[in-house]
Chains A and B, each alone.
Chain A
Amino acid sequence: MESDELIINMGPVHPSTHGVLRFKLRMDGESIKECTPVIGYLHRGTEKIGEMKTYLQFIPYTDRLDYISAFPNNYAFVKAVEELAGIEVPIRAEYIRVLTMELNRIVNHLVAIGSLLMDLGAATMIMWGFRERENALQLFEMLCGARMTFNYIKPGGVREDIPEGFMPKLNEFLKDMEKRIVDYEQLINGNEIFHMRMKNIGVINAKDAVNFGWTGPTLRGSGVDYDLRKYEPYSIYPDLDFKVCVRNEGDSFARFIVRIDEMKESLHILRQVVDNMPVSKVISSAEYGIAPMTGTPTAVSTYFPRIFTPPAGEVYSRIEAPKGELGFYVVSDGTTKPYRVKIRSPSFCNLTAIPSLVKGLKIGDLIAAFGTIDVVLGDVDR
């Protein structure tokens, strides 16, 4: 019996929590023949706003790109500005930045794992994930006052030092997380349904993955051993000891396990940072050799000026954000506002491979494969 093909629209509002993403699916019965993602429902014009605000005023807008883990976005932009203007950062500020970044990595992977499992039907993991996330958000609140959108960083350091009572609470959090990760692994390894739904779904080999421009845990799940923190290190990562988590199978299960391994490595890095935290200033003061600035700093000012003008030039700087490689291309023409800010977001580039990844699968497999790519719509649409 001949049957026509069916066109199904997984609309912008659907109950999984990834945001406003739309798929146009052409189906042959239950299997997918062609899948077209339609994006742009959250396009807020961040790049155009970047041309209208000064450098410090633009930092809160970078928070809202990947809103689950906001600090790495801030840091990528500030790193680009610091490279452009030649600003040196005191060592304690670098340690605090790495501490916050690794905490953000743990938070991001908790939400990614939790929402993937919730899409597959198991609601336990997201409840556990958000319980851990509350503890981490209370730590962030002690540090800078906000739970999700920090604005804690400035070119030249961070705004304020670590308050009292932060370190004991952080140590408690680390001890707690170790025990919980063992719980999560038990939940996954003993679950046959999960294995059957995730293994051999959405397979991609290393050469194709690099051609599509994949980066981050999705690339490391396909066997390419590359991590920007290890091979093009920035900040204090050369002094820290950690390993890069790689799996060779290339299917959804491998990408999932890479994230759990990365959480363990982040705990290891956090312990090293806590043990070796030096004592120094946390923000570079106005004498650190930058271009002439507007506004008059006082003689005893140890604060970085609020309006500053870096020299004219362009820079492209990338970091290893939890979702992949996040890059900022900043062009400056010598005034107080950037001339062009271009954001290379990992979710946008990881999403291009979806049409070829899900040919022939069923809709349930589309959800499983798409969940492991870990897409956030604020990052895709900017």
Chain B
Amino acid sequence: MEKGGFRVDPVTIDTTKIKITKKQPVTALDKLNDTGLISTVLAAREREGMILFSTIDQVFNWARLSSLWPVTSGLACCAIEMMAVAMAHHDIARFGMEIFRASPRQADLMFVAGTVTKRMAPRVKQLYEMMPDPKWVIAVGGCASTGGPYHESYSVLKGVDLIIPVDVYIPGCPPRPEAWIYAVIQLREKIKNQGYGAKWGLNK
């Protein structure tokens, strides 16, 4: 770990002797820099003004990933973990999922949480088709990924990706809320890298 030019060994370091001085943010530009949100803010520092330069792709992707609204498609036991993730202890409203929309026409993310049976499959497909573009799907748990523990049953669809395209799979039965949040972060990374800017290497 390099700090100010000399090597600091983390094992033998004596933390009582180190004083790290940090400047308190004074101007609005300093506060924005502290958040580390937008990487192009450094370009604006020299100009001493609040002008940010970015690509259209980056701005659109940032807008899409910061406020994904899920539709409540909780089918079985994983739906209870969905409720637990949405409540106060592990809060996914921090990631922009403030409200779970009841109607698929107002949502852009679908958590398929629970076992998809053969009888329910056309309804799940209809829900997916009712969502407007751009839309993403996260398959939560073992049952939605591949059929899970009920793989040998006669009435269970062996994975929801047989009927709709899936972006992120979460293993687990049911997955822990921390795993759920990790999957949301992975989806945000995927959305950040969408578009032509990412393909041509412009989103640095």
Q: Which A positions have Cβ atoms within 8 angstroms of B?
A: 11-15, 17, 19-20, 40-45, 48-49, 52, 60-61, 64, 67-68, 111, 126-127, 130-131, 133-134, 137, 147-149, 377-378
User: Which residues of A lie under 8 Å from residue B154 when comparing CB positions?
Assistant: 45, 48
With contacts A40-B119, A43-B119, A133-B84 taken as known, whether A19 is within 8 angstroms of B76 at the C-beta atoms is yes
Q: Is B64 an interface residue (CB 8 A)?
A: no
User: Which residues of A lie under 8 Å from residue B123 when comparing CB positions?
Assistant: 11-13, 41
Specify which of A13, A48, A60, A127 is in contact with B87 (CB 8 Å cutoff): A127
Shortest CB-to-CB span from A126 to chain B, Å, is 8
B156 near A44 with CB under 8 A, answer yes
User: Which residues of A lie under 8 Å from residue B114 when comparing CB positions?
Assistant: 42
B interface, by DSSP: helix, strand, loop or mixed? loop
A148 near B156 with CB under 8 A, answer no
Q: Which B positions have Cβ atoms within 8 angstroms of A?
A: 72-77, 79-81, 83-84, 87-89, 102, 114-115, 117, 119-120, 123, 127, 149-150, 152-156, 173-174, 176
Pick the 5 closest A-B CB pairs, nearest first: A67-B77, A45-B153, A130-B87, A15-B102, A134-B89
A148 near B80 with CB under 8 A, answer yes
User: Which residues of A lie under 8 Å from residue B174 when comparing CB positions?
Assistant: 147-149
B152 near A67 with CB under 8 A, answer no
Complex Cα gap A60–B143 (Å): 14
Give the A-B contact count at a CB cut-off of 8 A.
90
B153 near A48 with CB under 8 A, answer yes
Specify which of A15, A41, A134, A137 is in contact with B119 (CB 8 Å cutoff): A41
Shortest CB-to-CB span from B192 to chain A, Å, is 30
> Which among A11, A131, A148 has the greatest number of chain B C-beta atoms within 10 A?
A148
Complex Cα gap A369–B156 (Å): 31
Complex Cα gap A13–B125 (Å): 12
Task: Return the chain A residue nearest B154 by Cβ.
Answer: A45
Task: Return the chain A residue nearest B73 by Cβ.
Answer: A13
User: Which residues of B lie under 8 Å from residue A126 when comparing CB positions?
Assistant: 83, 87
